[in-house]
Amino acid sequence: MEQENSFPLIGDKMPDMTVQTTHGLKNIPKDYKGKWMVLFSHPADFTPVCTTEFVAFANLKDKFDELNAELVGLSIDQIFSHIKWDEWIEDNIKVTIPFPIIADMDGGVSKKLGMVHPGKGSQTVRAVFLTDPDGIIRLILYYPQEIGRNMDEILRALKALQVADKHKVAMPANWPNNELIGDRVIVPPATNVFDAKKRKDQYECYDWWFCHKPYEK
């Protein structure tokens, strides 16, 4: 019988979990209530691609702070391995890892979040779960072990979600550098004929269903 994989999806609440981290025990998502959380898995400590990712995340910590977001790493490694790798990065690359790393030794958290993909071995793939201040999963990304992530894209998506929530708008491709409308945002399409007829008088539009307005911070 084919194995059925089950894990939370966009719009679901992040499952309640108590986890061991390099910063002590954490309750997810409870300890991050009121903040956005970027929970990301890496295949293993002391590996080249993962090291470059951790350095990149650490160097962008201030940018995530500005967006009220906390970083949390994870892999199926012992806490002692995490601590030693953390020290190695600081000693050899001169970068301090400022965020906690979950030691998911039995793989329970990874399996619950669908971070272990049978076709890619027993290590976690490079997953990203972005949750909002209410602990709701708003974005999920998966990368294979051999490809490092683009942290600027994670930041971009986080900022875009916050703007979308605040102003009830949508973001075009490559926002804020869209080929058609630049950093402008998309107004939700009209849902009745009366609003549709007024749309072109209210906003700049390609048509009533494709209207946009300036981006508001």
Give the containing element (helix H, strand E) for 33: none
Edge-to-edge strand ranges of the sheet holding 185-187: 185-187, 210-213, 204-207
The residue annotated as part of the active site, out of 14, 19, 50, 74, is 50
CB-based burial of residue 63 (10 Å sphere; 0-12 exposed, 13-18 middle, 19+ buried)? middle
What token pair was written down for 169? 């708008």
Edge-to-edge strand ranges of the sheet holding 24-28: 24-28, 17-21, 101-103, 69-75, 36-41, 126-131, 137-143
User: What span, in angstroms and rounded, lies between the C-alpha atoms of 94 and 54?
Assistant: 12
Helical segments of the chain, H only: 48-59, 61-66, 79-93, 108-112, 151-167, 193-202
Q: Is 205 designated active site?
A: no
Residue among 27, 29, 25, 26 at smallest CA distance from 12: 29
Residue pair 106/117 in contact by the 8 Å Cβ criterion = no
Q: Which residues are catalytic?
A: 50
